[in-house]
Amino acid sequence: MSRTVILYLIVSIALLVASIAVFRVIAPPPPDTIRFASGAANGAYAQTAQTYTDIFEEKGVTLEIVETTGSGDNLKLLRNGEVDAAIVQAGVAELSDAEAIRSLGAIFYEPLWVFYRNETGILESGLEDLRGFDDLTIAAGSETSGTRKLATDMLSQNGVSARLVALTGEAGAEALRTGEVDVLMSVSAPTATFITELLADPEISVLSFDRALAYERRTPYLSQVIFPEGGLNLEENLPSAPIELIAPVAQVVVREDLHPAVQALLIEAMVANHKAGTLLSAPDVFPTPDRADLPIADEAERYYENGPSFLRRYFPWSVANFLERAWV
């Protein structure tokens, strides 16, 4: 082999190595493991996060689920860089979170359910809304939960002074049934077991928000939603009448510096799992940038405006990711 050929091979190999090094610096590959903060075990957030893991697994990426007590903890973990992404209730983030956290969009409504014991006298008072809850004991979630933040804001808007107890969900429902508390306020999916049980309990009433539209117009992250008559059980007609509710959205949020390819994969999971609709929303309503209370990520904005990129529409995720990095 001539000296010229050898020199040519050495230069070619050197250029190839340099190109790969520059390529990885300018457009590094996405990480192969993502930490995702969900919520309490068996809750709506945890169940949703679990459905995302299958899509990530298909692409060779591990979605490590971190169970938490809810939105407040999720935001804290994101701020500290302990997780890469999370599900967070709209209305819980602080103004400063907009500097380093981005929303990929809302994925479903999570209504505020308000149940109260009939013996509280609210039904007889003629004031069947939050203004009738003065001086009552209310189970309203832990201090860092999205339920507590929403409950506190709404009671304040109505000039209500009440004793708040750090219970919600199943534990709050049990406290309501035993008389330990007078009221349960809980942000929850309508399919939760305790919702069905309380709606069927003759000693318990559910608050229908007659002024839901006012809350929606006054609060950017809230929506007026109607839970339909018979929505849980047509044979038993449960509930026996439509219930007017107010609902923040649950949104998927990420650290601003999360790799764009991972953000695109999260959006793919959001579309696959939430496009079909629920008892509270028609098909194709979610995912959406509407009602999110954090800045929408650039990757998500592009998706909502144009759909998946050309490469992601026609190539497997790994190939599309490689080509997009090479294009950079």
Q: Say what the pTM is.
A: 0.84
- pLDDT range class, residue 129, cuts 50, 70, 90: confident
The DSSP H or E segment spanning 172 is helix 169-178
Q: E strands along 168-315, which residues? A: 183-187, 204-206, 222-227, 243-255
Note the pLDDT of residue 29: 82
What pLDDT sits at residue 122?
75
Higher pLDDT, 312 or 217: 217
Contacts 24+ apart (CB under 8 A), 156-159: 157/218, 158/129, 158/130, 158/131, 158/133, 159/131
Q: Which domains does the chain have, with CATH numbers?
A: 12-17+23-109+250-327 (3.40.190.10), 112-248 (3.40.190.10)
Q: What pLDDT is attached to residue 136?
A: 95
25-34, 40-49, 70-79, range with the lowest pLDDT:
25-34
pLDDT tier at 290, thresholds 50, 70, 90: very high
The model's confidence at residue 123, banded by pLDDT at 50, 70 and 90, is low
Check residues 42 and 92 and name the one with the higher pLDDT. Answer: 92
Average pLDDT, the chain: 88
CA atoms within 13 A on the CB side of 73: 14
pLDDT in tens, 60-79: 999 999 999 889 999 999 99
How does pLDDT run across 201-249, given as a tens digit for each residue?
999 999 999 999 999 999 989 999 999 999 999 999 999 999 999 999 9
Model confidence band, residue 323 (pLDDT cutoffs 50, 70, 90): low
The answer, yes or no, to whether residue 22 has pLDDT greater than 70, is: no
- The structure tokens listed for 9 are 């091979």
Query: What's the whole-number mean pLDDT along residues 186-194?
Result: 91
Q: What is the predicted pLDDT for the residue at 271?
A: 96
